[in-house]
Amino acid sequence: MATRTVTIASSVGLHARPASLFVQAANATGLDIEIGRAGEDFVDATSILGVMALGAKHGEEITLTAEGEGAEEALDSLVALLSRDLDAE
């Protein structure tokens, strides 16, 4: 299982537009990807409701996990996405 930790860069956190862009990118991988905080239950990263319910805020650290062929590369691209302020773009 591949794992990455990233700090949310978007000024509104993973809400609305940033969450939508992240979920679209996670779906595009075709992999089972989960997102969450350390010590809490993880949610399906391909579910907009799950990602928004997570309530990840700007500056907060979250962890991504993925299984399957290409998981390392998929997580690297998702980390790069979350490392940008998607609201400012």
Catalytic residues: 15
User: CA 66 to CA 50: how far, in whole Å?
Assistant: 16
**57: which DSSP letter?**
P
Nearest to 66 by CA among 48, 83, 81, 45: 45
Q: What 3-state DSSP class applies to 4?
A: strand
